Amino acid sequence: MTRYLSFAVIKFRSKMAYRFDYVLGILDTLLAFVVYWSIYKALYAGAGEVDGVTFSMVTTSFLISLGLSAAFHKNEMFLQDKIKQGTIANELLKQVNFKLRMLFEDMGEGAFHVVFNFLPTAVIASFFAELKAPSGAVNVLLCLVSVILGYIVLWEISFIVQSWSFTLFSVWGLITIKNVLVNILAGAYIPMWFMPDWLRNVIRWTPFDAIYFTPVQLYLGELAGIEIAFHFARQICWIIVLGAVGEYFWRSGLKKLVVQGG
């Protein structure tokens, strides 16, 4: 495990080499929050709540989503670049698990964006935005566990899409479509409280709400008892299912892999 943690540390340090980039990252994250906060402040127009959802709940939900987006940041062109460059063969010969190497590098990159992009934004936002405090220390702990599970769910989805690099010339289009679906259907941009019931019922049959909305609900204390166990079970089930699908595409892709060089 130590060797894989070293991949995360190296990735984290490599991102620190471009200081101007993470200054721009702070501005980008802060601007996204301010725009979202301004839009919903205008929509609420001083109202205490809308359909039982307060403005502070919406603001807190989006801030958490920004934090998760930072943590979930990853190099989604990694596998395609290795295949196009022909270096995938050398990578597979190394005495490390290729998928775990990808996972830990992505974790290192995500940690960088949380520390240098999200946390400064969260501190600044706390001075002017109405944020809702966590419902309790236990809920914070449960939220963090759910974040880890949600991270793995999203990473497995990303890996499945990247695995198409063995078949397609470029997976950039698929990655773009995937990101749009995740950001909308997972509640990252539009809280699921405001989605119609029929759409929420459909989303419950997908892994999307297990990525963003479950951690938000746990933080706000909207889940309790059997509901918490149910949502954790859903996240774990999706990890197993998506992991199996990703492994199938990975193994199928390796059988098609042909590397030419001279």
Residues 168-210 pLDDT 10s: 888 888 889 988 888 888 888 788 888 888 888 888 888 888 8
Using an 8 Å Cβ cutoff, are 99 and 126 in contact? no
Contact 132, 54 (CB under 8 A): yes
Distance CA 58, CA 41 (A): 10
Classify residue 79 as left (phi > 0), alpha (psi -120 to 50) or beta. Answer: alpha
Give yes or no for residue 261 having a pLDDT over 70: no
Other beta carbons within 10 angstroms of residue 105's beta carbon come to 20
Which secondary structure element, helix H or strand E, spans residue 53, and what is its range?
Answer: strand 53-54
Pick the range with the lowest mean pLDDT from 8-12, 87-91, 256-260.
256-260
pLDDT at 259: 58
User: Distance between CA atoms of 208 and 216, rounded to whole angstroms?
Assistant: 13
Q: How confident is the model at residue 262 (pLDDT cuts 50, 70, 90)?
A: very low
Question: What confidence score (pLDDT) does residue 75 get?
Answer: 83
Query: Which band of pLDDT confidence, cut at 50, 70 and 90, is reported for residue 94?
Result: confident
Burial of 198 per CB tally in 10 Å (0-12, 13-18, 19+):
exposed
The Cα–Cα gap between 17 and 132 comes to 35
Please state the domain extents for the chain: 2-256
**Full-model pTM:** 0.88
Question: Each residue of 229-251: pLDDT tens digit?
Answer: 999 999 999 999 999 999 999 88
| Beta-bridge partners for 53 | 50
The Cα 138–Cα 117 span in angstroms is: 26
Phi, psi of 64 (to 5 degrees): -65, -40
- The angle that helices 55-71 and 98-113 make with each other, rounded to 10 degrees, is 130
Is residue 131 within 8 A of residue 57, CB to CB? The reply is no
Query: Within 94-171, where are the H helices?
Result: 98-113, 119-128, 137-163
* The pLDDT of residue 119 is above 50: yes
CB 184 within 8 A of CB 190: yes
Tens of pLDDT, residue by residue over 130-176, are: 888 887 888 889 999 999 999 999 999 999 999 998 888 888 888 89
Give the residue among 92, 113, 116, 106 at the shortest CA–CA distance from 152: 106
Asked whether 211 and 182 are in contact (CB, 8 A), the reply is yes
What's the pLDDT tens digit per position in 11-62? 888 877 777 777 888 888 899 899 988 888 888 877 777 777 888 888 888 8
pLDDT at residue 238 in the model: 94
